Structure 1
Amino acid sequence: MAYRVAIVGATGNVGREMLQTLAERKFPVSDAVALASARSIGREVSFGEDDILKVQDLATFDFKGIDLVLSSPGAKISAEFAPRAARAGAVVIDNTSHWRMDPDVPLVVPEVNPNALAGFGKKNIIANPNCSTIQMVVALKPLHDAAKIKRVVVSTYQSVSGKGKEAMDELFTQTRGIYVNDAMVQEHFTKQIAFNVIPHIDNFMDDGSTKEEWKMVVETKKILDPSIKVHATCVRVPVFIGHAESVNVEFERQLTADEARELLREAPGVSVVDHRVDGGYVTPAEAAGEDSVFVSRLREDPTIENGLAFWCVSDNLRKGAALNAVQIAEALVGRPEFKKAKKAA
């Protein structure tokens, strides 16, 4: 069976990646529709090697007859259009932050909690987690199953593509400007991003954490286990694509680095590259364009009981966004609840 699929935010970084990923993975699409704001009407986006889609207006589009919506338009826009699409009978897989903590909306990473998809029919909306959360829980899942995680302390090193195309342009412009002695243009970051790191992603909250850090805490609990304690520090770095994380984990029982390495090698979605030699690890440059969550630098932490540390890298536009959304769609269309709903429609 093939499905009519709409991509919302089709002209953005994630929207384009969604279109590419659907084509690469040969998802059964009978008709693809590209949607964006009025200013993008008529622009062309690629779907696979041969198809070109003309962007239509999200505000006026009729979702009747659409089976699936892959959405990445921004939280405020999603809050308005997603219920409209859902009422028309489409299932919305949403990449924004708006629906993630709604108790009636599944928050899904297919390698971690695919059974949460059973609840999609409550609102016909499924949430895609935050990019930094996705790669971390993919790596944590097999370790948690084996030794039960008590606490996670994570520091992220997040690329500018997580803030959108304009942020990528700002990094490029600032970097070039330093070499040619141009005035520093700063519009999308709170500090200079070129040749710098910024310990601030999203808005500050009352307790001093940022919303990006809060997302990692509450999303990990919802996806993996509400009993896990998480503390995050999220940092923007001058990298175009690829998020990296330094993760420190405390378990209920001992888990050696060798045991963890073997568990991760068998885990879906994970690639272990952990050689204790120069260059025997993965960086964002190698992860860009790849689907895996890469784990390196596995070692035991002797400063706490049952402690383990590792380095984790992934392409934030792929596994951190578009790929995870397409994997949700692949898992969803195979579920009896979805098939039954489509037959009833």
Structure 2
Amino acid sequence: MAPITSRRTFLALAAVGAASAACGRATATGGSGGGETKKIRYQGWAGQVTLPELAEDLGYFGEVKLEWVGNTISGPQDIQSAATGQTDFGGAFNGAVVKLIAAGAPVKAVISYYGVDEATFSGYYVLADSPVRSARDLQGKKIGMNTLGAHSEAMLDIYLQRNGLSPAEIGKVEPIVIPPVNGEQTLRQKQIEVAVLGGVLRDKALAAGGIRPLFSDFDLLGRFSAGTFVLTNRFLKQNPNTSRIFVTGVARAIEWSRTTPREEVIARSTAIIQRRGRNEDTSTLKYWRSTGVAETAGRINDEEFKLWIDWLVSHGDIRAGQVRPGDLYTNEFNTYGG
């Protein structure tokens, strides 16, 4: 993800929320003007196969087709694009979704698409001989992560709070932005004391040796869904059947990934990338382990948003009572198993 500070992220999301609320755009053509749209515009991720792309390839969307408009640089950017009508859906960390809706954007979370479990998690790693052994040892230390004001910083705050650090003591811990591909190198060169590593970057670093985990998001919270796809309220109203096909198709893809042998999931994803011809590297796909989505079919519950609402309130990013979990999402369009 591109470096984004907490304040800059919040202000950008606030601006998007105000703009989208004022102009009321952010939808594909459809609804009362002549039937529902059968085309859904979206942004992808280089070298990755998203769940909607997998769902389409598996035939779960029927006549509904995805239209790729380019690749995104971050979750917050992806949902901003959906809110302003550049795309029809976007996905991000749930805290970013809370910020966007709190800022006035007329969007709704409709399905979880990534999360944390035993196989898919982010760890906070130190050098094997580091003196850092506890939360209190992090005071005065630099923690490298991909972006501020999002998942990694929230996990760090929760870890520090649970270990009894006061707000003043937490203020002495310094999270800084380090591009994920540079995290391991920056840690080994001792420019930072802790690196947040996940996925292939974590596995490669561990294979090289010389580092050890301090904690992980799975250690803190166990299995949980961490991010959701959003659609605008207008798109949902004008295109209820298309929305249902999309959300339920993604739900089916989640369960297909959960129940299909890992090697087959990787082979399918590799074939999808090779066919679309975007000159992408597929080597990292072999490290795929799971979506991390906790609930069956990606259904959303209040707790998945309450955690981040509380965190954002504690940081002063939103006011207490400004948003309620139940106002942020709907499972209405997820008919998996129904």
Name the structure where helix makes up a greater proportion of residues: 2
TM-score w.r.t. length of structure 1: 0.29
The answer to which structure has the higher strand fraction is 1
Q: Which has the higher contact order (CA 8 A, sep 6+)?
A: 2
